[in-house]
């Protein structure tokens, strides 16, 4: 399996319900030692930071064509803790109910993330945001630039119909 590094970030202006965006950087070194990089981003009209954090990871994973060994880096404790602290397993066991006995927010995105992660061997890494990490800084720039696009060019995120926004 190929080894891929993925870096992601999400941003929202006026969180919640302001414009937002995600950014992702995928890095792969082929068998000849050549570095390949791909950047992904897009902006949405009314969304939340957490939705954009999730969408950055989803879109990066969905861009892969084959099962991979992945080191995934994000400054989102929301995303990273869900895997490293096993929140996901608890939500699945409890029928998508959290520890406060309330429905898990953003369930359709979490379900989509789980589907996108299938077949991959992912190690989840938290990085401190705005701390000079080059790839994290680039993802932040991609996400905020996408969030700041002309409102006429932002996609619609109504929180329910993911086919509309992706």
Q: Is 53 a catalytic residue?
A: yes
Q: Is 30 a catalytic residue?
A: no
Long-range contacts from 38-42, C-beta under 8 angstroms, 24+ separation = 38/63, 39/138, 39/142, 40/142, 41/142, 41/143, 41/145, 41/146, 42/146, 42/155
Residue 9, marked binder:
yes
Q: Which of 95, 130, 132, 150 is catalytic?
A: 130
Q: Which of 42, 45, 135, 140 is catalytic?
A: 140
Q: Is 135 a catalytic residue?
A: no
Q: Which of 42, 75, 135, 157 is catalytic?
A: 75
Q: Which of 20, 21, 42, 53 is catalytic?
A: 53
Burial class of 116 by CB neighbour count within 10 A (0 to 12, 13 to 18, 19+): middle
Residue 42, marked binder:
no
Q: Which of 9, 42, 45, 157 is catalytic?
A: 9
List, in order, residues 6 or more apart from 126 with CB less than 8 Å away.
73, 74, 75, 76, 77, 80, 81, 84
Residue 118, marked binder:
no
Q: Is 9 a catalytic residue?
A: yes
Q: Is 42 a catalytic residue?
A: no
Residue 140, marked binder:
yes
Complete edge-to-edge strand list for the sheet that includes strand 121-126: 35-47, 18-29, 2-12, 68-74, 121-126
Q: What is d(CA 157, CA 166) in angstroms, rounded to the nearest whole number?
A: 9
Q: Is 66 a catalytic residue?
A: no
Beta-sheet strands, E only, within 32-166: 35-47, 68-74, 121-126
Residues serving a catalytic function are 9-10, 53, 75, 130, 140
Write out the binding residues.
Answer: 9, 53, 75, 140
Write out the binding residues for Mg(2+).
Answer: 9, 53, 75, 140
């Amino acid at each position: 399996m190929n080894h891929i590094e993925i870096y992601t970030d999400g941003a929202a202006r006026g969180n919640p319900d302001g414009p937002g965006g995600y950014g992702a950087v995928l890095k792969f070194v082929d068998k000849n030692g050549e570095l390949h990089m791909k950047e992904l981003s897009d902006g949405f009209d009314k969304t939340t930071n957490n939705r954009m954090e999730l969408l950055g990871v989803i879109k990066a994973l969905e861009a892969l064509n084959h099962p991979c060994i992945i080191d995934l880096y994000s400054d989102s404790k929301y995303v990273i803790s869900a895997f490293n602290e096993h929140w996901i397993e608890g939500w699945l066991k409890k029928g998508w109910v959290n520890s406060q006995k309330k429905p898990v927010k953003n369930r359709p995105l979490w379900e989509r993330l789980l589907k996108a992660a299938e077949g991959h061997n992912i190690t989840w890494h938290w990085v401190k945001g705005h701390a000079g990490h080059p790839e994290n800084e680039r993802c932040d720039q991609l996400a905020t630039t996408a969030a700041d696009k002309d409102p006429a060019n932002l996609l619609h995120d109504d929180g329910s119909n993911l086919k509309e926004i992706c």
